Amino acid sequence: MRGTETVTLFIYFMFLCLVPTVLEAKTTAPVTIEYTVPKTVQTGDTVSTVIYFIAQTDLEVLKISLEPYRGLKLLSKKKETFFFDLKKGERRDLEIEIQLTDPEIGYLSVFATTETMRSTSTKSIAIPYGAAGVLTREKLKSSNSAFKRSEGEALILMPGDPR
């Protein structure tokens, strides 16, 4: 009996060593997100932004979701865009139009969800528009804001440190 328990424990231990752990999981999607924004955007201005997505590995699907918040209106009709079969290093461009509605600042959240043969993961960034200077950032540090996306998902936006 004792030999059977030892063998069972040994097999169980070997199985655990072969299974990847949560700690080994990637924390963000394998995609680089870059963008261009005009330096000066005033309240009421309508501007174009080009967002670049560069695959860091082969991707089956790249789903882009856009969500305006805090003083920004998305004028582009599509809030979701899909790109398929991207090879490592390939770039896809997405041009959008926004309008600044706040007297100081507006943000556009960009969510990039990737699907590979092994996993699905998401990376997000916030693109600032307007007077996103030091004073505005300091004022926003104390005002975490909660809102609901159009899909009904509740989000709490908390300012982070600049990179």
Q: What is the pLDDT of residue 41?
A: 85
Q: What is the pLDDT of residue 58?
A: 92
Domains and CATH numbers, the chain: 26-130 (2.60.40.10)
According to DSSP, the residues that pair with 55 across neighbouring strands are 31
Report the sign of the C-alpha dihedral through residues 48, 129, 83, 57, in that order: positive
Of 131, 116, 145, 121, nearest to 57 by C-alpha is 116
Of 52, 43, 65, 51, nearest to 129 by C-alpha is 43
Residues 88-122: pLDDT tens digits?
999 999 999 999 998 888 889 999 999 888 888 99
* Over residues 22-29, mean pLDDT: 52
Residues 34-70: pLDDT tens digits?
998 888 888 888 999 999 999 999 999 999 999 998 7
Cβ burial, residue 62 (10 Å; 0-12/13-18/19+): buried
User: Which pLDDT band, with edges at 50, 70 and 90, does 156 fall under?
Assistant: low
Q: What is the pLDDT of residue 161?
A: 57
Total count of residues recorded for the chain: 163
Neighbouring CB atoms inside 10 A of 77's CB total: 7
According to DSSP, the residues that pair with 98 across neighbouring strands are 47, 74
How much of the chain exceeds pLDDT 90, in percent?
39
